[in-house]
Structure 1
Amino acid sequence: MSGAQAWGFTDDRGTELGAARVPRRVIAYVRAGAALCDLGVTPVAVYGSGHDGEVLDPAKEGGLRAAAVTYLGPGRVLDEGLLRELRPDVIVDVTYDGKSPYALDEAVAERLGVPLVALSVGNELTLPAILDRFGALAVSLGAAPPAETPAASPAESPAAPPVETPAEGSPAELRAAEDALREVAARSGFAVLALSGAGPDQVHLARPLAWPELARLAELGVRLVDPGPGPGANWLTGDWDRAADLRPDLVLFDSRAHATAPDGALSGARLTPWNPETPPSPAAYARFFRALAEALAG
């Protein structure tokens, strides 16, 4: 890249991207867009994947709806004329294989003459590394660096020192949520199964180490259930009886609109929602870890 460029970024495919000025008009895959929104970069619009419909999935929206970000529908069928009218400076997608953007054909960005950033969300990176990469992209696009200094809250009595609480969305807030989850997981010892319902007769059972966030839960002491041998790198597909045979104490069920809820198929297990496309931001994962801690403790 030329030293005269005002913006440059190397994505997780190893593609060096640059522009004459810092991109301001961002269009993103919904998961990436929700993360950027948390990190201080509000996209002008987001698009979905092949799982998504014409309406933004509430499980995926994060702060996008509150920020009045336009949803364009599934990425593979986007109206290129509309995209051109939106005048994007950059497109941000994710990649699971380190080679191709997940939800948008790269040729679309090439025809628009717009750089396309693809950041990895696959298991070749740890969750902390994924969060770091999205944070670095956000800063390159003009966001403020993450606040590490806790905010002081009023003291309970005149003699007591101020109580420091982590700034919302900060790495410190995420660490506090992880610490709380670690403590609860050590006490509960619950067996936790993550799954995605695929109808009344079929369910996809997550292989914990194939998912960066599930691998992180295991590091924090959550006792995750492995579905056992069989085909599938990320999921083992079976019926609901197979899921019940694993005897989970708590089930993380896929809460996305296209997935089927357990609806009594796993009686006796606690249920808590899980979005396998949680926005890669400290704020989003702090919320998820706190919710799981509450479910384990409840």
Structure 2
Amino acid sequence: MSGPVLPRRGFLSATAGLAAALTLAACGGGTGTAPTAAGSPASAGQGWSFTDDRGKKLELARPPARIVAQVGAAAALWDFGVRPIAVFGPHKLKDGAKDPQAGNVDITKVEGLGNVWDEFNVEKYISLQPELLVSSMYVKGALWYVPEKSKDAIEQVAPTAGIMLTGKSATEVIGKYEELATSLGADLRGVPEAKARMEAATKELAQFKDLKILMMSGGPDQMWVVNPPEYPDIVHLTTAGLDVVTPSKVDEGGFFQTLSWENADTYDADVILYDTRTQSLKPEEMLKKPTFTKLPAVEAGQFYPWRAEVAFSYQGYAAFLEELVANLKKARPLG
């Protein structure tokens, strides 16, 4: 997929792979049950309802246990104690190892319905007898990684729930996943400690308000500067006090600005945070770009990872923010 052609999807799923492609039977593995606070499956006698971010109220006679989720949604739910039976979206690397986007999901215990954009095994999905499909949304009404060509067939099999990301803070998104997990009867015993860690790390961000920070991703011929208001994690960072560069001219769709590597110096920054997703260029590859290596932040070694696909859970964000705080403590203003 190409950034200019599909700007809404481009940066979010496979920014660095824009020149190539968007990246972004029997039921096996996993029980598919959501443990309750007492550790037993959610009661079959309970009615269940949940209103998703499309404003769609879902109602079933009992809490759904057989849940299929887009890998990012699965990672969030997993940290809240919900165990999907299958995932779709990038969960396995070329060497068979787990994709970082899968978070703490044990991919050996879930079925895979697709690993790349526009790949979703509908027949296998039907065979799993799912009771609920969960996915995030970057565009309201469009379930992330649910192929347009298969959408109608997929939505006839089981109810679907969409959790909106764009225009929200990470705290709001995490809260929505927590609400869903709670409705499913999940065991939330680990939540208070993780939430406290996240809050503590968030408070520490204010001390770095004097640092100008650029958040970006790299491709073979281009780099992408993110537009902060469109990303829940960056909204969280800016609300907490970080000064993140906002591009002056964003591409169609509003998520980022595309720059040639020759124009890598368009924006001044004390710190550069680079996209760590598998589709993005690795730091050593970006450092082969002469204009990039001459940037003050790069020359100063103030070039740190941005975990762009961290799970929307308190555990996921606690770890993400703690790492960020540790890195920013090593940085200084360069102006």
SS in 2 for 1:260: coil
Q: Quick check: 1:206–1:236 contact (8 Å CA) kept in 2?
A: yes
In the aligned structure 1, how far is the partner of 2:310 from the partner of 2:191?
22
In the aligned structure 2, how far is the partner of 1:218 from the partner of 1:121?
16
Aligned equivalent of 1:35: 76
Residue 172 of structure 2 is aligned with which of 123, 129, 140? 129
Q: 1:129 to 1:25 in 2, by over 3 A?
A: same
In the aligned structure 2, how far is the partner of 1:261 from the partner of 1:93?
28
Aligned equivalent of 1:79: 121
In the aligned structure 2, how far is the partner of 1:260 from the partner of 1:191?
22
Amino acid at match of 2:212: A
Q: Quick check: 1:90–1:117 contact (8 Å CA) kept in 2?
A: yes
Residue 319 of structure 2 corresponds to residue 277 of structure 1? no
Aligned equivalent of 1:117: 161
Q: What is the CA-CA distance between 1:101 and the residue it aligns to?
A: 1.0
Q: What is the CA-CA distance between 1:10 and the residue it aligns to?
A: 1.0
Structure 1: 5+ residue stretches without partners: 150-166
Aligned equivalent of 1:101: 143
* Higher mean C-alpha displacement, 92-101 vs 174-183: 174-183
* Higher mean C-alpha displacement, 253-262 vs 139-148: 139-148
Residue 281 of structure 2 corresponds to residue 260 of structure 1? yes
SS in 1 for 2:282: coil
TM-score by length of 1: 0.81
Aligned equivalent of 1:172: 196
Residue 198 of structure 1 is aligned with which of 219, 224, 241? 219
Aligned equivalent of 2:34: none
* Higher mean C-alpha displacement, 245-254 vs 140-149: 140-149
Q: What is the CA-CA distance between 1:196 and the residue it aligns to?
A: 1.4
Q: CA RMSD in A?
A: 2.7
In the aligned structure 1, how far is the partner of 2:124 from the partner of 2:229?
40
SS in 2 for 1:60: helix
In the aligned structure 2, how far is the partner of 1:12 from the partner of 1:41?
19
Q: What is the CA-CA distance between 1:213 and the residue it aligns to?
A: 1.4
In the aligned structure 2, how far is the partner of 1:176 from the partner of 1:98?
32
In the aligned structure 2, how far is the partner of 1:258 from the partner of 1:81?
28
Where in structure 2 are the equivalents of 1:1-298 lying within 5 Å? 6-48=47-89, 58-65=99-106, 68-72=109-113, 73-74=115-116, 76-105=118-147, 106-112=151-157, 114-123=158-167, 125-145=168-188, 167=193, 169=194, 171-183=195-207, 185-186=208-209, 189-199=210-220, 201-232=221-252, 233-262=254-283, 263-264=286-287, 265-266=292-293, 267-268=298-299, 269-298=301-330
What does the per-residue CA deviation read over 1:171-192, in whole Å, with 9 as the maximum and x for residues that have no partner? 2221112123333x14xx2221
SS in 2 for 1:74: coil
Query: How many residues are treated as equivalent by the alignment?
Result: 270
* Higher mean C-alpha displacement, 244-253 vs 95-104: 244-253
SS in 1 for 2:143: coil
